[in-house]
Structure 1
Amino acid sequence: MKQLTLLLLGLILFSCTSDSDEPVKEVSLSLAFAHNWDGTSVTKDEFNKLDYTNKKGTKMSITKLRYLISRIKLTDSANNVIEFDGYKLVDLSDNATLSHRLTKLVKEGAYKLSCTFGFSNADNKDGVYQDLNSANWNVPSQLTGGYHYMQLEGKFKNTSLVELGYSYHAIKAYNPTTKVSKDTSFEIDLGTITLKGDATATINMNIAEWFKNPNEWDLETKNSGLMMNYDAQIQMSDNGKSGVFSLGGVQQ
């Protein structure tokens, strides 16, 4: 009987040891970038069409949309952070830029997914990113240099039904008169994803939100010269934080 008890104990211990020693699978994560206007999909095929109406009631189109995502992070339940090197310039006119595979494998499990819109001041170093230089993503030196966060351009119909252009460009806020600047990049908290294998998480941008909350955007008065407008840059940042980005599905 004593020998049987010891045998059973050994089997239990072996079973527990085998379970704990089983390696945790490492998987890859990719990001896909999708765009909509209050739920209606937006692709480059919709460029140059006055198909959108902002909260102010203004008819408008999109002819360009490029934006920068940086400091992509996964945070586990113990608050351990995995930060991925690099950044991603998303260009709606170029399908090749609408996906991004992260540079490290991670263990299966649940993580909070977050990233930064634009560059923080620490990363916004003038002239150092050669691919961004080639993409004409630089900010003029008279506005303290560095790089854009976003270029959103198109046309709109004013109250006289005349078609005019707009340039909704987001950068670090800077007042050329007072020389005051402010980091207007912001962290995008996309919620929790659970990885059970190689996966692709979709990040949605609702373009309409840039013109909606908390600042209802009037293209009649704010359609160009916004890079020199300190207050406009802060309002853009506030609107971006209010629900522009959200997590779509996770495919795995």
Structure 2
Amino acid sequence: MKHILTITCIAVLLLSCSTDQDDNLDPGKAPVAITFQFTHNWDDVLVTNSSINNSIFTNAHGETMTITRLRYLISGFQLIHENGTTYNFDGYKFTDLSTPESYNFTPQSNSIPKGRYTLKFIWGFNADTNLDGAYPELNSASWNWPAMLGGGYHFLQMDGMYNVNTMAKPYNFHNGTARVSAGVFEQNFAEITLNTPITITNSGLISVNMNLAEFFKNPNTWNLNNLDTNLMPNYQAQKMMQANVQSVFSLGTNTP
């Protein structure tokens, strides 16, 4: 289903773009600017900052869960025009569920022609950008991934309690570089492609939904009774997370 952006121009977001790229796609027409808006849910239940420590969810394996902390990182945003031209957006999106202001991401260099696009981005950082200590904001947020586990940065921190209706236990669902063995590491980012076409006719929001339940069910059904804490050095757990994140994101309804 096509998603249509017919949104009032947000003039403060309009920045310059390559004249050649604009002319190739839409000669004589002004470029538009985009903000990426992320929403969070657990299947059909909306998840917001008010859900922290308050809502109880049930994963695919049947464990009841709470969320006490959720933070994640996305980078490498791209919009690919139907003619094959790719528009890259600099920067990264660091989201903290407790801070609603972090749900949106407006790239600094942000100006594209109107047209029909698909969206791609990187879960975490790729090999070229996942560099130790390179991002002051992330350093101050204690987002670093331990050097002994490959270094760089976390992709995800999801913490809480499970089996909350019986005997509650903590879980720490943390994702980043995968440690194969002592001194041997494997890149663990994921390339996410949302193939639903987006027709962009004006400046505004591209909404992306993040279904947290998918981390625990597709393709790997997650048993928290076996995999609850100390997952960062666990190679198999890290690769399972990388596989499961592929189904977490979907294109949402674009709104003014």
Report TM bin, short chain.
Answer: 0.7 to 0.9
Instruction: Say whether the 8 Å CA contact 2:56–2:66 is kept in structure 1.
Output: yes
Q: Distance in 1 between matches of 2:180 and 2:138?
A: 24
Instruction: Say whether the 8 Å CA contact 2:150–2:178 is kept in structure 1.
Output: no
Instruction: Say whether the 8 Å CA contact 1:50–1:155 is kept in structure 2.
Output: no
In our comparison, the structure showing a higher alpha carbon Rg is: 1
Change (3 A) 1:223 1:197: same
Q: Deviations over 1:153-206 (max 9, x none)?
A: 110117x921111000000111344x3322111111123211111120111110
SS at match of 1:232: helix
2:193 aligned to 186, 189, 193, which one? 189
2:144 is equivalent to residue 144 of structure 1 = no
Q: Distance in 1 between matches of 2:131 and 2:27?
A: 44
Change (3 A) 1:60 1:107: same
2:220 is equivalent to residue 215 of structure 1 = yes
Instruction: Say whether the 8 Å CA contact 2:149–2:185 is kept in structure 1.
Output: no
More helix by share: 1
Q: Deviations over 1:26-55 (max 9, x none)?
A: 111001110000111011111113510001
Q: What does 1:92-131 align with in structure 2 at a 5 Å threshold?
A: 92-102=97-107, 103-131=109-137
Q: Which residue of 2 aligns with 1:14?
A: none
Q: Distance in 1 between matches of 2:210 and 2:64?
A: 19
Q: Distance in 2 between matches of 1:225 and 1:185?
A: 19
Question: RCO greater where, 1 or 2, for CA within 8 Å and sep 6 or more?
Answer: 2
2:47 is equivalent to residue 42 of structure 1 = yes
SS at match of 1:131: helix
Instruction: Say whether the 8 Å CA contact 1:117–1:187 is kept in structure 2.
Output: yes
1:64 deviates by 0.8
1:90 aligned to 89, 95, 104, which one? 95
1:78 deviates by 1.8
Q: Which residue of 2 aligns with 1:164?
A: 169
Read off the aligned partner of 2:220 and give its amino acid letter. N
Q: Distance in 1 between matches of 2:29 and 2:80?
A: 17
RMSD of the TM alignment (CA)?
Answer: 1.7
Instruction: Say whether the 8 Å CA contact 1:35–1:43 is kept in structure 2.
Output: yes
SS at match of 2:236: helix
- Runs (5+) with no aligned partner, structure 1: 1-20
Q: Distance in 2 between matches of 1:152 and 1:115?
A: 20
Q: Distance in 1 between matches of 2:213 and 2:227?
A: 16
SS at match of 2:253: strand
Paired residues in the alignment total 230
Instruction: Say whether the 8 Å CA contact 2:39–2:208 is kept in structure 1.
Output: yes
Q: Deviations over 1:93-134 (max 9, x none)?
A: 101101111232111111111111100111101111111101
SS at match of 2:244: helix
Change (3 A) 1:77 1:174: same
Q: Distance in 1 between matches of 2:188 and 2:150?
A: 14
Q: Distance in 1 between matches of 2:150 and 2:45?
A: 37
